[in-house]
Structure 1
Amino acid sequence: MKMCVISFSSRADGNCAAIADCVQEALGAEGLTRFDFSGLSVHGCGACHCECFRQREACPYFADDAFRLNEAAALADRAVFIVPNYCDFPCSNFFLFNERSQCCFNGHAELADRYLAVPKKFIVVSNTGRENFLAAFRDHVLPGTEPDVCFLRAAAYHRISLDGDLMTCEPARAAVREFLRDW
């Protein structure tokens, strides 16, 4: 089984990276591909002439990591997205991924359909903004279905998100394992 895990945080040593470690431990490394935005290069759309609308390979950023991310998620059997909360919404890296998927899937409807059909779990480090996350994630699951989301509130585990130590708390690690249990 091919698993794709994406941590959308730009912090290499924050909560999302630690959650990705926990996910990897829970699911096992075999068949698992992990991406951490902290080590990737993904450009936003713009500063171009929308060449991708005519031919995706004409995108001036075709060689960056966006295509690799989108294709890995689309070709996986299951995917886990780990997304931090910035100002009550998913972080900008999640929106970059979403924005660039348009080019990745342009002219490849079968790949877009496959991406939507991949079962996904979303883990959010958030104390607020629940509805905003659900609305953003609905575009990444099959129409008519609700995203499967685990909201980890650092305060619920007597932690401060900015400290990046959420996964040092065994009950938080257990919550992630329980969320992934049926996988």
Structure 2
Amino acid sequence: MRKISLVSFSARKTGNCSLMADYIISKSLNYEVKYISINDLDIHECKNCNYECMSERCIYHNDDAYLYFQSTKEVNRIIWLVPMYCGNPSSLYFKLNERSQDFWMKNESYYNEFLNKLFIIGIGNIDKGNPFRQIFESMYNCSTVSSYSHILILETHKYGLNSIKDSLIANQAVKEQINKFLSL
């Protein structure tokens, strides 16, 4: 059976990322879906080191960051649900991204395959000139994979949502965009 790794970068348990994950799971009938909340993983922040990840092994190698990236080798599709807070992806996104260096230094040949499997849904209000999409696109700069069809930004204000507590997935147009983006 085909496998999906569905990952939320939200610190909230019942927010838009959680509701969207529930929706995606309900539509992924031909997949085995493993839901992961980055907030529940034990990921040590980068600090108090001498850049061992660049030449040896990260001193925090045994936390969940390396294990998470290793687990992506076993799935057919990776879906990241990333909320935007204060004009940027959540701090959990940056924490995992920062700690990914140890994994990619030892698995560089897997990077294009990883990006081919990765689909990012960004959720939040985007101000004019906001670099939210560009932050995700930068992951694709060192690859042969085009970011165009791998990133979907859902701007909550376009759907009449004014509060972070409003449900984005309750909107039929959002469901249709997600279905098309993920081919559900």
Give the counterpart letter for 1:27 in structure 2.
S
| In structure 2, C-alpha distance between the alignment counterparts of 1:179 and 1:120, rounded to whole Å | 12
Aligned match of 1:120 in 109, 115, 118?
A: 118
| In structure 2, C-alpha distance between the alignment counterparts of 1:104 and 1:122, rounded to whole Å | 20
Give the counterpart letter for 1:71 in structure 2.
Q
Question: Over the residues paired in the alignment, what is the CA RMSD in angstroms?
Answer: 2.4
Report the CA distance between 1:25 and its aligned residue: 1.5
What is the TM-score with the length of structure 2 in the denominator? 0.82
Judge conservation of contact 1:35–1:69 (CA < 8 Å) in 2.
no
What is the TM-score with the length of structure 1 in the denominator? 0.82
**1:71–1:164 Cα change, 3 Å:** farther
Report the CA distance between 1:29 and its aligned residue: 7.0
**1:131–1:160 Cα change, 3 Å:** closer
Deviations 1:149-182 (A, max 9, x none): 222222233323421522233443333223222x
Identity %: 26
Which residue of structure 2 aligns with residue 179 of structure 1?
181
Please list every run of 5 or more consecutive structure 1 residues that lacks an aligned counterpart in the other structure. Answer: none
Report the CA distance between 1:102 and its aligned residue: 0.8
Report the CA distance between 1:66 and its aligned residue: 0.9
Q: How many residues align?
A: 179
1:70 and 2:65 equivalent? no
| In structure 2, C-alpha distance between the alignment counterparts of 1:29 and 1:17, rounded to whole Å | 20
Judge conservation of contact 1:22–1:176 (CA < 8 Å) in 2.
no
| In structure 2, C-alpha distance between the alignment counterparts of 1:113 and 1:149, rounded to whole Å | 15
Report the CA distance between 1:9 and its aligned residue: 0.9
List structure 1 segments (4+ residues) > 6 angstroms apart after TM superposition.
none
